[in-house]
Chain A
Amino acid sequence: MADTTLTEGAAGAPARKPFPLAGVAVPLLALALLAYPFVFRLPFQHNLMILVFLYASLGQAWNILGGYAGQSSLGHAAFFGVGAYASSLLLVKFGIVPWVGMLAGGLVAVALSLLIGYPSFRLKGHYFVIATIVLAEIIYILFTNWPFAGGAEGLFLPLLPEGVVNFEFHSSKIPYYYIIFAILAVVTTVVFFVERSKLGFYFRAIREDPDAARSLGIDITRYKLIAMALSAFFTGVCGTFYAQFVLFIEPNNSLNFMLSVLIMLIPVFGGSGTLWGPILGAFILIPLSEFTRVYLSGAGRAIDLTLYGLLIMLVAIFEPRGLWAVVTRFRSRETLKWRFWKSQV
């Protein structure tokens, strides 16, 4: 614990002595990821990374509310599903292009988040979590029984000529790869700036101690709603992406509870309340699940969930702040060694 004081707060505070590779590693990694689809050419490989980016984006969106503002939601599938349904219904029923639908999806998710957030933010801790589960289940049941939205059978999106305008690509998955990569870049950039702004400070203050936050003039309900709205917006946008990617949505693939769990699991495993935690989490958990499915096929159905359980236990025992905390701990130890060495010279 003591060594963390020398470098940075666990909450992803700007490091006093910036990690020298941060300015180099991030652009390099981004370049590598941009080149990836041309190095690895199999559709499976593209599909894998699209899912990684999608879940990293979702984890990052959850991170704003759950990680920084400390309001753990287990109902994010509701925002995801509403985003997916909004754009799909606009497309299927009114022929509106999915790009407009994406914005609409995000905004509908925001509206829903405010509706859910206002009453449930009166609850604290576990009770808030339970409220989010229940409200998301209500949305699930509503969509399952809503004939206009396809009910339990779901909605098939029309096959349109492929192209950017239609947001459909059939011959190759590469365009999807870049679109979701861009979404991840945007949401991560937003979190990067939020972390350093008044908003980020207020979010963290609310997470650390709501009473103290209020005594410093923070209207905590208002700021929790802002966090929730930001989080829901990007989750809804991801929902639209998903609908365009699989071209079929039903309550079970876009509104179910396990999706909410996964959206929470990724940042918590990687390190919630940190900028890189959700990305790290997605890069580990999603391939794990995809590879067990590939190599063990049907027999490996639940293997990924078993492994998730094991990993979560390990993280809970050895580093409850998530995997990114292990990285920062290693980094701060390096800094300490370096200082000691320098002081000896």
Chain B
Amino acid sequence: MALLEVTGLTKNFGGLAANQDITLSVEDGTIVGLIGPNGAGKTTLFNTIAGLYAPDAGRVVFAGADITGWPPERVCRAGIGRTFQITKSFRQMTVLENVMVGAFLHTFSPRQARQAALAAIEKTGLLSRKDMLAGNLTVADRKRLEVARALATRPRMLMLDEAMAGLNPKERQEAVELILFLAREGTTILLVEHVMEVVMPISHRLVVLDYGKQIAEGKPEAIARDERVIKAYLGERYRAPG
């Protein structure tokens, strides 16, 4: 059984069906990309899994537990860490303090939280900025901070919402390296992404949404050749290498 199993998930906002009957699974230890054009319902699906919205129908099962409709804090404790598309740093707290908040999930001791936080900060390459106020960080560093903070809760699966948006090519490359590093360490990753060139090479599987519906699922190479995906999203010019 896969680590995350989403079956028949539906979420409506008034008359708008943001997600219709989505079914996907994320195997333990893989990187799964969730892609689709603007307004396809990626972030809605993401937020429904993370507990920000309760679905209208369908089930979310994580590590064998039915977490459908659980509030975000319980989803986090079940082992799902997440970042936000528009970063939500604790601006008046330092980088270290931000990450310590995550680390306090597993301990009462500030000293232990500090150590765990420092480890997460080191992994994400923020060590030199650990005493800066989060509000003073660059966009790229704030995205790293989101990852570090989520990592400190020791998630089995990490959900990254548009981790590459607003980054320049060099920062993007560094972010990709970070994701690959975390995956090698055994963290399962579900990422919502816009930048195709980034998702294609690193994902084991891709799920494509369009207008709230799932139009394809499979290996990146297959997705890149899929007629419907090309029409809906990639445009005629995009051709998969090979």
Contacts and interface: CB of A to CB of B under 8 A. Distances in A.
A123 interface: no
A204 interface: yes
Interface residues of B, number: 35
A97 interface: no
Contact of B89 (A2, A4, A209, A215): A209
A198 B90 contact: no
A331 interface: no
Question: By DSSP majority rule, is chain B's interface helix, strand, loop, or mixed?
Answer: mixed
A202 B103 CA distance: 11
26 contacts: A1-B136, A5-B131, A5-B132, A13-B94, A197-B108, A198-B104, A198-B107, A201-B101, A201-B104, A202-B104, A204-B92, A205-B101, A208-B90, A208-B92, A209-B88, A209-B91, A211-B84, A212-B89, A214-B71, A215-B72, A215-B84, A216-B76, A216-B101, A216-B102, A216-B153, A217-B102
B145 to A, nearest CB: 10
A198 B113 contact: yes
Contacts of A201: 97, 100-101, 104, 110, 113
Contact size range, A: 20 to 34
B50 interface: yes
Q: Which of B89, B93, B110, B150 has the most CB of A within 10 A?
A: B93
Interface in B183-220: none
A161 interface: no
B105 A5 contact: no
Contact of A11 (B71, B93, B102): B93
Given A208-B92, A209-B90, A215 B76 contact: yes
Interface string A216-238: 11111000000000000000000
Nearest to A216: B102
Contact of A204 (B89, B90, B102, B133): B90
A9 B135 CA distance: 10
Contacts of B94: 5, 9, 13
A198 B97 CA distance: 11
Contact of A220 (B73, B89, B90): B73
Contact of A13 (B82, B84, B93, B113): B93
Contacts of B76: 214-217
Interface in B59-117: 71-73, 76-77, 81-82, 84, 88-94, 97, 100-102, 104-105, 107-108, 110, 113
